[in-house]
Amino acid sequence: MIVQQEVDLQPFNTLAVPATAERLCAVTTLGELQDALALAQAEHLHLHVLGGGSNVVLHPRLKGLVVQMRIQGREILERLPDSVLLRVGAGENWHELVEWCLGQGLYGLENLALIPGTVGAAPVQNIGAYGVEIFRFIERVEGLTLPDGESVCLSAQRCEFAYRDSVFKNRLRNRFIITAVVLRLPLFFTPEISYPALREQLTAEQAGELTARAVFNAVCHVRRTRLPDPQTIPNCGSFFKNPLVSWFLYEHLQNLYPTMPSYDVPAQPGVAPLRKLAAAWLIDQAGWRGKVFGQIKVHDHQALVLTNPNRVGADAVLAAAEAISRDVKERFGVVLEMEPQVFGG
């Protein structure tokens, strides 16, 4: 394990904010990760774990030790007549995994194509797109506890998955490092094409039987058409979650804005009914799409995406996000919550 000093992190975050790691090491094995934890504990260093850097906002200086997760590996643990149990290293590229699974005849992940980042980050955010969330396919999550480095497996139930949320963002934040994810993937394709943009693309392209490859290609097309490539326009994808609001507030807004999109939220025992609103619609209606705040620009084609064309720092990004959130709250009474995690500061 090689530990570097004063490392530039701008190339390692898709928002391209300038940041420096006091110390940094890349880990490719469980043993190297345990060595990194031992170093952090021995020298009382704060620990930051960085995957693909696609869903984070980094402050200018990250004190302590930044660990880049690069543990690889894809292993089929079990084959059943209708499904396969697949163990994947946390450092694997997410999109490459989705495409590989298609080639192996393993289905379910095609709607999650082109989501940037690593496999280990997927459960943290409970990533989702076009009607599919990753929690549906997670059997368990493997990792190490902090600060002692004990190896632990968490069942899907213990991960406490919710909309863009999990135990790893809450109770286990800074207390657990994901090293592998075990997925239960079906061997039979069941399409999920409820989202209008996806249906429209498939209608335009599809001839004959609907296949998983067709859905994968349509998802890639829609995302490439509507979302900026971080390689050319720095961004971290959707910056805000779609808000869940009370039924009372939903009906109030629906009366004012009859064309406002909204989505069902599964009922939960003992919880008042909720409705999901489209954050992009709220931001767009408030006049922010294409607008520049400071040096941060809201994307022309997707109001959920904040872009950083001039590669300025976290303060500028967070100031723009705060201004948008405040405006939406004042106009609609809806509180927007950030998707990316903030490191440092």
Let me know if residue 211 belongs to a domain. no
Do 29 and 120 lie in one domain? The reply is no
Supply the range of the domain harboring residue 81. 74-186
pLDDT at residue number 207? 57
Query: What are the helix (H) ranges across 80-148?
Result: 94-103, 121-125
Do 180 and 100 lie in one domain? The reply is yes
pLDDT at residue number 161? 95
Do 91 and 180 lie in one domain? The reply is yes
If one compares 296 and 267, the residue with the highest pLDDT of the two is: 296
Q: Rounded mean pLDDT of 50-55?
A: 92
Q: Which residue, of 186, 221, 250, is where some domain finishes?
A: 186
Do 239 and 169 lie in one domain? The reply is no
Q: Which domain CATH number covers 164?
A: 3.30.465.10
What whole-number percentage of the chain has pLDDT above 90? 86
Instruction: Provide the β-strand partners of residue 74.
Output: 88
Q: Rounded mean pLDDT of 215-235?
A: 93
pLDDT at residue number 267? 79
Let me know if residue 82 belongs to a domain. yes
Let me know if residue 229 belongs to a domain. no
Let me know if residue 320 belongs to a domain. yes
Let me know if residue 259 belongs to a domain. yes
pLDDT at residue number 77? 98
Do 106 and 44 lie in one domain? The reply is no
Q: Which residue, of 186, 221, 251, is where some domain finishes?
A: 186
Counting the structural domains of the chain, the total is 3
Do 107 and 150 lie in one domain? The reply is yes
Which of 92, 110, 133, 339 is catalytic? The answer is: 339
Q: Which domain CATH number covers 47?
A: 3.30.43.10
Active site residue 142: no
Residue 92 scores a pLDDT above 70? yes
Range in 30-39, 80-89, 189-198 with the lowest mean pLDDT: 189-198
pLDDT at residue number 205? 66
Do 335 and 253 lie in one domain? The reply is yes
The model's pLDDT over 228-252, given as tens digits with 9 standing for 90+, comes to: 999 999 999 999 999 999 999 999 9
pTM of the model: 0.90
Which of 83, 166, 238, 325 is catalytic? The answer is: 238
Tell me the pLDDT band of 197, cut-offs 50, 70 and 90. Answer: confident
Do 266 and 338 lie in one domain? The reply is yes
CA distance 84 to 252: 46
CA distance 24 to 4: 5
Q: Which residue, of 69, 86, 115, is where some domain finishes?
A: 69
pLDDT at residue number 194? 86
CA distance 49 to 67: 5
The model's pLDDT over 14-51, given as tens digits with 9 standing for 90+, comes to: 999 999 999 999 999 999 999 999 999 999 999 999 99
Active site residue 155: no
The model's pLDDT over 143-157, given as tens digits with 9 standing for 90+, comes to: 999 988 899 999 999
> Residue 30 is which amino acid?
L
Residue 203 scores a pLDDT above 90? no
Let me know if residue 193 belongs to a domain. no
If one compares 201 and 99, the residue with the highest pLDDT of the two is: 99
Q: Is 208 exposed, middle or buried (0-12, 13-18, 19+ CB in 10 A)?
A: exposed
> What single DSSP character describes residue 32?
H
Tell me the pLDDT band of 265, cut-offs 50, 70 and 90. Answer: confident
Q: Rounded mean pLDDT of 157-174?
A: 93
Let me know if residue 206 belongs to a domain. no
Q: Which domain CATH number covers 319?
A: 3.90.78.10
Do 52 and 94 lie in one domain? The reply is no
The model's pLDDT over 276-298, given as tens digits with 9 standing for 90+, comes to: 999 999 999 999 999 999 999 99
Do 249 and 336 lie in one domain? The reply is yes
Active site residue 158: no
Do 242 and 334 lie in one domain? The reply is yes
Do 148 and 173 lie in one domain? The reply is yes
Let me know if residue 176 belongs to a domain. yes
Which of 70, 164, 184, 275 is catalytic? The answer is: 164
